[in-house]
């Protein structure tokens, strides 16, 4: 939320992060990141931990990709807007999943079974 708050306000921001996703648990914005976002970002979508965990499961079951939560956040953001049209590419980054994230991937993959309709939108 710190990067989002800084991007929307145009000012540096510090917030208390409550996410379980270690790669996104940044409590303060950074000037370099904000300057890059300010030049090219058109939209900024916030998603909750459950949406990210669901995307981790989808990536594991449908793309056979083991992604940490931060790496699956782009898919969670895309799925948060079912009205979005056209083709889209999602960059999956991050290889630093913590133990609690890895433990949750199996559960997320199990709950993602049967979601082919969601992915074909």
* Partners of residue 14 on adjacent β-strands: 28
- The yes-or-no verdict on residue 76 having pLDDT over 80 is yes
Average of per-residue pLDDT across 28-39 = 91
Contact 45, 52 (CB under 8 A): no
Residue ranges of domains in the chain: 2-40, 49-119
Residue 9 half-sphere exposure, CB side, CA atoms within 13 Å?
11
Which tens digit of pLDDT belongs to each residue from 47-69? 999 999 999 889 988 998 888 89
- The yes-or-no verdict on residue 90 having pLDDT over 80 is yes
pLDDT given at position 52: 93
Provide the 10 A C-beta neighbour count for residue 96.
11
112 against 66, higher pLDDT: 66
């Amino acid at each position: 939320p710190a990067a989002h708050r800084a991007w929307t306000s145009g000012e540096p921001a510090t917030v208390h992060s409550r996410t379980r996703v270690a790669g996104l648990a940044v409590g303060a914005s950074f000037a370099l990141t904000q300057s890059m976002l300010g030049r090219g970002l058109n939209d900024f979508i916030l998603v909750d931990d459950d949406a990210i965990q669901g995307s981790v499961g989808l990536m594991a079951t449908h793309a056979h990709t083991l992604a940490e939560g931060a790496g699956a956040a782009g898919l969670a953001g895309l799925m948060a807007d079912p009205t979005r049209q056209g083709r889209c590419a999602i960059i999956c980054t991050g290889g630093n999943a913590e133990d609690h994230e890895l433990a949750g991937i199996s559960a997320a993959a199990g709950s993602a079974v049967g979601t082919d309709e969601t992915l074909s939108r």
